[in-house]
Amino acid sequence: MNLNLTLLAQIVVFFILAWFTMKFVWPPVVKALDERAKKVADGLAAAERGKQDLELATKRSADALRAGKEKSAEVLGQAEKRAAQIIEEAKAEARVEADRVIASAKVEIEQESLRAKEGLRDQVAALAVAGAEKILRREIDAKAHAQLLSAIQQDL
């Protein structure tokens, strides 16, 4: 443990190294550390904000869902009502139509039966005349009795 010039050299080296670290090492590292701390703080704040946003959005989407459900139920109800109404209308229409068809069918039947009666009367008259003819073959002169015959025919 002798003292010599190394002592002074070490003092000089000590100061040079300290100066170098102060100048070139400490500031960038501390700057990086501070910046990272700020980034982390910002990140945490952003995460907090994001959480709040998410909560808000969840609430909003739940509201929207509920509104949509209500709306759809309402629409469904309206549609059902409308369908029932349409069916009722159709039923009524059908009933009217049916009545109409039945009425016209009845008229037609009336006419047809009238026509049939007419035909039948003609045939019966003809038959009666023919029968009378056969009975009265000789006595009856078609020409002389034509007027009478047609009168009979009319009565039948």
Q: What is the dihedral of CA 104, 106, 112, 113, to 10 degrees?
A: -160
Specify the residue, 4 or 154, whose C-beta has the smaller distance to another protein.
Answer: 4
DSSP code of 141?
-
Q: Mark 90-110 as b/e (b = at least 16 C-beta within 10 Å).
A: eeeeeeeeeeeeeeeeeeeee
Q: How far is the CB of 51 from another protein (least distance, A)?
A: 23
Q: Which range touches another protein (CB under 8 A), out of 4-12, 75-83, 109-117, 144-152?
A: 4-12
Name which of residues 86 to 115 contact another protein (CB under 8 A). none
Least Å distance between CB 48 and another protein?
21
By CB under 8 A, the count of residues binding another protein is 35
Site string for another protein, 117-146 (x = CB under 8 A): ------------------------------
CA 59 to chain centre: 29
- 124, 156 Cβ separation under 8 angstroms: yes
Q: Which of residues 5, 134, 137, 138 is near another protein by CB under 8 A?
A: 5
Closest by CA to 130, choosing from 115, 118, 119, 140, is: 140
Instruction: Scan residues 14-73 and list those touching another protein (CB under 8 A).
Output: 14-18, 20-22, 24-36, 38-39
Q: Does 10 bind another protein (CB under 8 A)?
A: yes
CA distances from 141 to 76, 126, 131, 150, 154 (A): 88, 16, 14, 13, 19
Summarize as ranges the residues that interact with another protein (CB under 8 A): 1-11, 13-18, 20-22, 24-36, 38-39
